[in-house]
Structure 1
Amino acid sequence: MAQYTAPLSGLRIIEISSFVAAPLCGLTLAQLGAEVIRIDPIGGAADCNRLPVTDNGDSIYWSGLNRGKHSMSVDMHSRQGRDLIRRIVTTPGSGNGILVTNAGGRNWCSHESLAQLRSDVITLEILGRRDGTPAVDYTVNAALGFPFITGPENHSGVVNHTLPAWDVACGLHAALSVTAAVRHRDITGHGSAITLPLEDVALATAGTLGYLTEVQINGRSREACGNAVYGIYGIDFVSADDERFMIVALTTRHFRDLTSVTGTTTAVEAVETALGADFSAESDRYRHREVLTALFTRWFREHSSTDIVAALKNTSVLFERYRSFADVAASDALTANPMFTPLDQPRIGTYLAAANPAAFDGIHLGTGPASPVGGDTVAVLRDLLGSTDQQTAALIESGTIAIAPN
């Protein structure tokens, strides 16, 4: 394999985090070459045993988000432990003076406090709401409007999504913000105090995609449309052997090919005339989606999934068969993708783990396994602060730090 120097090689990040957004930020930076040191409370943060877990109770969730990071375990309630963390973040030569955290409200690791020790420190604090009060992905989403347009068209209640989309977006925004702050410091010599509320990530995204703008401009909210794709023609169909397909016709060519392959061109043209519609316009295809779907459904119901795939492959129609996570894992979606490589994760097992999805000169940048909580405590103190064995032993004895159990 060709050698590639990861773009963030030489950058060191200190992370105090839990759950999704902040750990995902650290993981993304680690995949791009940064050295990420996660500092956990003794015994682990609140998410260290989060589901899903192995039969032995080890968190698959936690290990996935903390791959490639070193782990140091410190008593954050003690003054000695807090002072130790502040030294690790700010001491010249120990690191790059960068802290990523979602543990807000701690004055001892605030930007102002750390800047007194290092003027060019970079801190990124992920908040729940912009006023600093707590919030998580699912409460942010509830307050935004998406649950009202998720689920069946005739459903009168709300439907929550299962993907923590705002956490994911926030984690990626956080990683980008850190690299932007490093670039800013390289140019100006100044640090940055970055705050990133999960609430604002969601609001910004909803605004950019028009969900909030259309209310302000048109005076109405977007309607629920079930499994249909809003604004274009896209819907799911069931085959003769009860396989389900998602079909999307973004363009006029896609739609023309869909009517051709389903043998409904003449019928669709007749409907178009009867309705006074123009099916070359995506808005009309969306507006009259129910009648169009009724015309196409019979063809799907009369053909097996194998025949459907064979027929659609010869068209421009965008389609995919619905698959479960188990279906994906059993297919070649992982084994044939160079982004996935075997990872031997202690306490979890060996599995195919994803590297960064961006390929740099054809290479996907990955990480090693996650260290156990406190697994690198001694090495971090030695390498970053020059602590001797006697000094480290004294800190262990006092309960200021902890090492991973054997």
Structure 2
Amino acid sequence: MQETTTPAALAGVRVIEMGQLIAGPFCGKTLGEFGAEVIKIEAVGAGDPLRNWRLIKNGTSVWWQVQSRNKKSVALDLRQAEAQDIVRRLIAEADVLIENFRPGTLEGWGMSPEELHALNPGLVILRISGYGQTGPYRDLPGFGVIGEAMGGLRHLTAEPGRVPVRVGVSIGDTLAALHGAIGVMMALYHRKVNGGAGQVIDVALHEAVFNCMESLIPEYSAFGVVREAAGSALPGIAPSNAYPCQDGWVLVAGNGDSIFKRLMAAVGRQDLADDPQLADNAGRVARVAEIDAAIGAWTATLTVAQVMERLAAARVPAGKVYTARDIAEDPHYQARDMLLTQQTRDGDEVTVPGICPKLSATPGTIRSSAPRLGDDTDAVLAEAGLTQEQIALLRGKGVIQ
């Protein structure tokens, strides 16, 4: 864990997290890293399915150790009215509610935004769903991959003419989570300066992806152009691509006018550096195949390390394609505290991603490791005013775990 005496940016903010898997919980993770108290509501029995996703160590996913650090776990059977009453009791004292259920789920439990705001007028409610809380698709099931497809991203992640592929991580969920965190911050700020009223933040997975699609729609609107997949290249910007080396691939971004001249000199093509037709991006785009071939012919004779060294000397942006091993061994990651050692509640040590963004006065921290299912049920309910006898009775009924 990280020890710090600096204040936390979100100290005093209480968050109730009722989501599972990725989008909602990633938002809760982000808020928790900067000091918010995050109380995660999980189903009795199995809890959040993420506990069992991908690689498992001592019965728990190592992904869980990242996604749920700094959180408290309260296990409730929300099918029971008494469990729903407990959630309302917790929400009444909260600042933020995060949920990523299908639209209508909260309403079915008697927890519509209107009902929750009657209980707690200052509550900020973040609702993340596949298609949003309104519109003709609102009731359709939606996961991150579907949001990536509808948002326009999946169409572009392919080699031309080949099957669209995943980015490799759940980018749709993560983008929705980050948009949600931004929305929470804006709503909390508005509440602070405008009289204490809460509001609802509606984030759709596909809209979060679409918001990052740059000039996709303006180009279609103005020119009727449908942007197509371009593999590793950056369409309309040249040169910017991946190039083969003797032992791997290197990315080179030589698309600035002065950078291009230095790049061509570095690869031994002074003729291209001095060519007036290539002095600006428009000219380079028209001859991008020629430029890419020149760069690729040079990189193919060298190792990745040699290319990186020579382009660094020429002040040309370049980067190797990192694997997990490359990241884990990289001194820059280590110097910036982006690789931290976290101890699980079973006593294992695991290296986990550090915290981003980095705030100078109120940096994020890892204060506690990810909880076992229901680890904090008794403590949270006692703090909410339930007696030990009431907690025992609820446990006997299967309402809590």
Paired amino acid for 1:313: A
SS of the residue corresponding to residue 258 of structure 2 reads: helix
Greater CA drift, 173-182 or 45-54: 45-54
Deviation at 1:222, TM superposition (A): 1.3
SS of the residue corresponding to residue 237 of structure 1 reads: strand
Equivalent of 1:160 in 166, 169, 173? 166
Greater CA drift, 117-126 or 30-39: 117-126
Deviation at 1:390, TM superposition (A): 1.2
SS of the residue corresponding to residue 40 of structure 1 reads: strand
> 2: CA distance between counterparts of 1:348 and 1:288?
58
SS of the residue corresponding to residue 302 of structure 1 reads: coil
Aligned residue in 2 for 1:61: 63
- Relative to structure 1, is the Cα distance of residues 234 and 192 closer, same or farther in structure 2, using a 3 angstrom cutoff? same
Aligned residue in 2 for 1:379: 379
Aligned residues of 1:58 and 1:348 also touching (Cα < 8 A): no
In the alignment, structure 1 segments of 5+ residues that lack a partner are: none
Aligned residue in 2 for 1:14: 16
Paired amino acid for 2:91: V
Question: Quick check: 1:184 aligned with 2:185?
Answer: no
SS of the residue corresponding to residue 152 of structure 1 reads: coil
Aligned residue in 2 for 1:5: 7
Query: Equivalences for 1:90-101 in 2 at 5 Å?
Result: 90=92, 95-101=93-99
- Relative to structure 1, is the Cα distance of residues 227 and 214 closer, same or farther in structure 2, using a 3 angstrom cutoff? same
Paired amino acid for 1:238: P
Query: Equivalences for 1:216-295 in 2 at 5 Å?
Result: 216-232=221-237, 233-239=239-245, 241-267=246-272, 269=274, 272=275, 278-295=277-294
Deviation at 1:224, TM superposition (A): 2.3
Paired amino acid for 1:251: G
Over the residues paired in the alignment, what is the CA RMSD in angstroms? 2.1
CA deviation string 1:357-382 (max 9, x = no partner) = 12222774122211111000000011
Aligned residue in 1 for 2:176: 170
Deviation at 1:156, TM superposition (A): 4.2
Paired amino acid for 2:123: V
Equivalent of 2:50 in 48, 51, 64? 48
SS of the residue corresponding to residue 223 of structure 1 reads: coil
Deviation at 1:210, TM superposition (A): 1.1
Aligned residue in 1 for 2:308: 309
- Relative to structure 1, is the Cα distance of residues 10 and 55 closer, same or farther in structure 2, using a 3 angstrom cutoff? closer
Deviation at 1:116, TM superposition (A): 2.6
How many residue pairs get aligned? The number is 387
SS of the residue corresponding to residue 226 of structure 2 reads: coil
Aligned residue in 2 for 1:136: 143
> 2: CA distance between counterparts of 1:158 and 1:359?
34
Aligned residues of 1:334 and 1:352 also touching (Cα < 8 A): no
Deviation at 1:78, TM superposition (A): 0.3
Deviation at 1:215, TM superposition (A): 0.7
Paired amino acid for 1:18: Q
- Relative to structure 1, is the Cα distance of residues 46 and 258 closer, same or farther in structure 2, using a 3 angstrom cutoff? same
Question: Quick check: 1:395 aligned with 2:400?
Answer: no
SS of the residue corresponding to residue 54 of structure 2 reads: coil
Equivalent of 1:35 in 5, 12, 37? 37
TM-score by length of 1: 0.89
Aligned residues of 1:27 and 1:69 also touching (Cα < 8 A): yes
Greater CA drift, 209-218 or 175-184: 175-184
TM-score by length of 2: 0.90
Deviation at 1:267, TM superposition (A): 5.0
In the alignment, structure 2 segments of 5+ residues that lack a partner are: none
> 2: CA distance between counterparts of 1:348 and 1:19?
24
Q: Taking every aligned residue pair, what percent have the same amino acid on both sides?
A: 24
Greater RCO structure (CA 8 Å; 6+ sep): 2
Equivalent of 1:77 in 70, 73, 79? 79
